[in-house]
Homo-oligomer: A and B are copies of this chain.
Protein backbone atom coordinates (compact mmCIF):
# COMPACT_ATOMS: atom_id res chain seq x y z
CA UNK A 1 0.00 0.00 0.00
CA UNK A 2 3.14 2.15 -0.05
CA UNK A 3 2.49 3.92 -3.31
CA UNK A 4 5.98 5.19 -4.02
CA UNK A 5 5.29 5.65 -7.72
CA UNK A 6 2.67 8.29 -6.99
CA UNK A 7 4.53 11.61 -7.04
CA UNK A 8 1.96 13.12 -4.70
CA UNK A 9 2.30 10.46 -2.01
CA UNK A 10 3.43 11.51 1.44
CA UNK A 11 6.79 9.88 0.94
CA UNK A 12 7.50 11.99 -2.13
CA UNK A 13 6.47 15.26 -0.53
CA UNK A 14 9.31 17.51 0.53
CA UNK A 15 7.33 18.90 3.44
CA UNK A 16 6.58 15.46 4.87
CA UNK A 17 10.20 14.39 4.63
CA UNK A 18 11.36 17.53 6.39
CA UNK A 19 8.64 17.14 9.00
CA UNK A 20 9.34 13.53 9.87
CA UNK A 21 13.10 13.99 9.67
CA UNK A 22 12.79 16.80 12.20
CA UNK A 23 10.76 14.58 14.52
CA UNK A 24 13.34 11.83 14.22
CA UNK A 25 16.21 14.22 14.92
CA UNK A 26 14.43 15.70 17.92
CA UNK A 27 13.92 12.27 19.42
CA UNK A 28 17.52 11.35 18.73
CA UNK A 29 18.87 14.39 20.53
CA UNK A 30 16.34 14.10 23.29
CA UNK A 31 17.87 10.73 24.09
CA UNK A 32 21.40 12.12 23.80
CA UNK A 33 20.60 14.99 26.18
CA UNK A 34 18.92 12.67 28.66
CA UNK A 35 17.77 14.27 31.89
CA UNK A 36 20.12 17.23 31.76
CA UNK A 37 17.38 19.66 30.77
CA UNK A 38 19.10 20.50 27.51
CA UNK A 39 16.87 20.52 24.42
CA UNK A 40 17.46 21.09 20.76
CA UNK A 41 15.91 24.58 20.67
CA UNK A 42 18.08 25.60 23.61
CA UNK A 43 21.16 24.33 21.81
CA UNK A 44 20.21 26.44 18.80
CA UNK A 45 19.92 29.53 20.98
CA UNK A 46 23.25 28.91 22.71
CA UNK A 47 25.02 28.23 19.40
CA UNK A 48 23.59 31.30 17.74
CA UNK A 49 24.81 33.46 20.61
CA UNK A 50 28.23 31.87 20.55
CA UNK A 51 28.59 32.54 16.85
CA UNK A 52 27.05 35.98 16.65
CA UNK A 53 27.91 37.41 20.05
CA UNK A 54 25.42 39.62 21.84
CA UNK A 55 22.05 39.86 20.06
CA UNK A 56 18.67 41.48 20.60
CA UNK A 57 15.66 39.18 20.86
CA UNK A 58 14.54 39.97 17.33
CA UNK A 59 18.01 39.49 15.89
CA UNK A 60 18.19 36.13 17.60
CA UNK A 61 14.73 35.36 16.31
CA UNK A 62 15.87 35.95 12.75
CA UNK A 63 19.11 34.02 13.22
CA UNK A 64 17.43 30.99 14.75
CA UNK A 65 14.27 31.11 12.66
CA UNK A 66 12.02 31.19 15.73
CA UNK A 67 9.38 33.76 16.62
CA UNK A 68 10.05 36.17 19.45
CA UNK A 69 6.98 34.88 21.26
CA UNK A 70 8.68 31.49 21.33
CA UNK A 71 11.99 32.91 22.47
CA UNK A 72 10.76 35.13 25.30
CA UNK A 73 9.83 32.41 27.80
CA UNK A 74 12.75 30.23 26.66
CA UNK A 75 15.26 33.02 27.24
CA UNK A 76 13.76 33.84 30.59
CA UNK A 77 14.19 30.31 31.89
CA UNK A 78 17.69 30.06 30.48
CA UNK A 79 18.67 33.34 32.12
CA UNK A 80 17.21 32.19 35.44
CA UNK A 81 19.38 29.14 35.14
CA UNK A 82 22.44 31.19 34.37
CA UNK A 83 23.62 30.32 30.86
CA UNK A 84 22.75 33.73 29.42
CA UNK A 85 22.06 37.33 30.44
CA UNK A 86 19.08 39.49 29.50
CA UNK A 87 19.73 43.20 29.78
CA UNK A 88 17.46 45.96 28.52
CA UNK A 89 19.47 48.30 26.31
CA UNK A 90 20.10 51.71 27.84
CA UNK A 91 20.19 53.56 24.55
CA UNK A 92 16.92 52.02 23.36
CA UNK A 93 14.79 50.77 26.20
CA UNK A 94 12.67 48.65 23.87
CA UNK A 95 15.51 46.29 23.11
CA UNK A 96 16.72 43.44 25.28
CA UNK A 97 20.28 42.32 24.75
CA UNK A 98 20.98 38.60 25.08
CA UNK A 99 24.50 37.32 25.69
CA UNK A 100 26.16 34.10 26.84
CA UNK A 101 27.58 33.94 30.35
CA UNK A 102 30.78 32.03 31.08
CA UNK A 103 28.63 29.16 32.19
CA UNK A 104 26.77 29.37 28.88
CA UNK A 105 30.03 29.16 26.95
CA UNK A 106 31.00 26.06 28.90
CA UNK A 107 27.61 24.52 28.29
CA UNK A 108 27.55 25.12 24.55
CA UNK A 109 31.01 23.61 24.15
CA UNK A 110 29.91 20.43 25.91
CA UNK A 111 26.63 20.18 24.04
CA UNK A 112 28.25 20.82 20.68
CA UNK A 113 30.57 17.86 21.21
CA UNK A 114 27.60 15.62 21.88
CA UNK A 115 25.71 16.91 18.86
CA UNK A 116 28.65 16.45 16.51
CA UNK A 117 29.53 13.00 17.78
CA UNK A 118 25.89 12.00 17.48
CA UNK A 119 25.89 13.08 13.86
CA UNK A 120 29.18 11.35 13.21
CA UNK A 121 27.78 8.13 14.61
CA UNK A 122 25.11 8.14 11.95
CA UNK A 123 27.78 7.61 9.28
CA UNK A 124 26.11 9.83 6.73
CA UNK A 125 27.84 10.41 3.43
CA UNK A 126 29.65 13.77 3.82
CA UNK A 127 29.21 15.05 0.24
CA UNK A 128 25.53 14.09 0.31
CA UNK A 129 25.09 15.79 3.65
CA UNK A 130 26.69 19.04 2.55
CA UNK A 131 24.54 18.97 -0.56
CA UNK A 132 21.51 18.43 1.64
CA UNK A 133 22.50 21.39 3.77
CA UNK A 134 23.03 23.61 0.76
CA UNK A 135 19.73 22.77 -0.95
CA UNK A 136 17.80 23.02 2.31
CA UNK A 137 19.28 26.44 2.94
CA UNK A 138 18.29 27.68 -0.51
CA UNK A 139 14.78 26.28 -0.23
CA UNK A 140 14.35 27.84 3.19
CA UNK A 141 15.40 31.24 1.91
CA UNK A 142 12.65 31.00 -0.70
CA UNK A 143 9.95 29.80 1.58
CA UNK A 144 10.65 32.41 4.23
CA UNK A 145 9.82 35.22 1.87
CA UNK A 146 6.90 33.50 0.16
CA UNK A 147 3.14 33.77 0.34
CA UNK A 148 1.13 30.58 -0.27
CA UNK A 149 -0.17 30.46 -3.83
CA UNK A 150 -3.60 29.38 -2.64
CA UNK A 151 -5.51 29.43 0.61
CA UNK A 152 -7.72 26.70 1.98
CA UNK A 153 -11.41 27.49 1.97
CA UNK A 154 -13.88 25.14 3.57
CA UNK A 155 -16.95 26.94 2.31
CA UNK A 156 -18.08 23.88 0.40
CA UNK A 157 -17.66 21.56 3.34
CA UNK A 158 -20.04 22.16 6.22
CA UNK A 159 -19.21 22.53 8.98
CA UNK A 160 -15.77 24.15 8.74
CA UNK A 161 -12.87 22.47 10.48
CA UNK A 162 -12.83 24.99 13.31
CA UNK A 163 -12.21 23.43 16.68
CA UNK A 164 -11.08 20.20 15.12
Within 8 A of B (CB), among A107-164: 107, 110-124, 128-133, 135-137, 139-140, 142-144, 146-154, 156-157, 160-164
**A51 to B99 alpha-carbon distance, docked (Å):** 48
Q: Which residues of B sit under 8 angstroms from A119, Cβ to Cβ?
A: 13-15
Could you tell me if A32 and B148 are in contact, using CB atoms closer than 8 angstroms?
Answer: yes
Whether A112 contacts B81 in the complex (CB less than 8 A), given A122-B146, A150-B117, comes out as: no
Could you tell me if B143 and A1 are in contact, using CB atoms closer than 8 angstroms?
Answer: no
- 15 other A-B residue contacts (CB within 8 Å) besides A9-B47, A37-B162: A8-B112, A9-B51, A12-B130, A15-B115, A19-B40, A21-B136, A34-B152, A37-B164, A42-B164, A78-B164, A107-B161, A114-B152, A118-B150, A121-B146, A121-B149
Residues of A within 8 A of B (CB): 1-3, 6, 8-25, 28-29, 31-38, 40, 42, 44, 47-48, 51-53, 63-66, 77-78, 80-81, 83, 103, 106-107, 110-124, 128-133, 135-137, 139-140, 142-144, 146-154, 156-157, 160-164
A-B contact pairs, 23 of them (CB 8 A): A11-B133, A14-B129, A15-B25, A15-B29, A17-B133, A21-B22, A21-B140, A23-B66, A24-B65, A25-B143, A28-B143, A28-B146, A32-B152, A106-B157, A110-B157, A113-B150, A114-B151, A117-B148, A118-B148, A120-B149, A121-B149, A122-B142, A132-B139
